[in-house]
Amino acid sequence: MALWTTLKDFGEKFSDSGDETVNLGEDEVRLVAAALLVHATVVDGEVDKREEKVLRDVLLRGFNLDQVQAGKLITQATEKEKEAVDLHVFTNVLTRSLDQEGRMEIVGMLCEVINADGEAHETEGKLAWRVAQSLGITPNDWVKLRKKVEARHT
């Protein structure tokens, strides 16, 4: 199931009649996921142009956005990331909002971002592992996801 479908299904669970509730649910989960991905670009102390490009590409693909929507989401996510006290702000929302497959997709997106510059720095690797654990990803699934992404970047 695609992440976008998972988000839509999540929003529909909490909506009786209006699209407004669905959009608010989808938008909030999307924003939280994007903020987590933005955090991955800054966690090693430097933002590489390749990380910025992969971040945009991952958001375009993962959430079926156009360039303008992705740009707005990155701007909003950057602000949300700056305001966050810790990662649990993000992972709690994602854990409650997404099924296992959706959470795996988020971790896959995170791995794409941290490997964008050709290497996952120690702080980036630790971030991804902590997020995976917080989202309930098994160690076995974590290794498979990480290796799959690393294979695409070698």
User: Mean pLDDT across the stretch 33-49?
Assistant: 91
The answer, as to whether pTM is greater than 0.85, is no
Report the chain's C-alpha Rg in angstroms.
15
Is 83's pLDDT higher than 70?
yes
Show the domain range for 77: 3-152
pLDDT digits (tens, 9 = 90+) for 113-149: 998 877 778 899 899 999 999 999 999 999 999 888 8
DSSP state of 132: H
CA 59/CA 37 separation, integer angstroms = 9
Is residue 102 within 8 Å of residue 2, measured between CB atoms?
Answer: no
The distance from CA 69 to its chain's CA centroid, rounded to whole angstroms, is 16
Q: How far apart are CA 48 and CA 1, in angstroms?
A: 31
Please count the other Cβ atoms lying within 10 Å of the Cβ belonging to residue 152.
10
Q: How many domains does the chain have?
A: 1
Mean pLDDT of all residues in 43-62: 92
- Residue 138, φ and ψ in degrees, nearest 5: -70, 155
CATH of the domain at 79: 1.10.3680.10
Residue 107 has pLDDT above 50, yes or no: yes
Q: Which residue has the higher pLDDT, 2 or 27?
A: 27
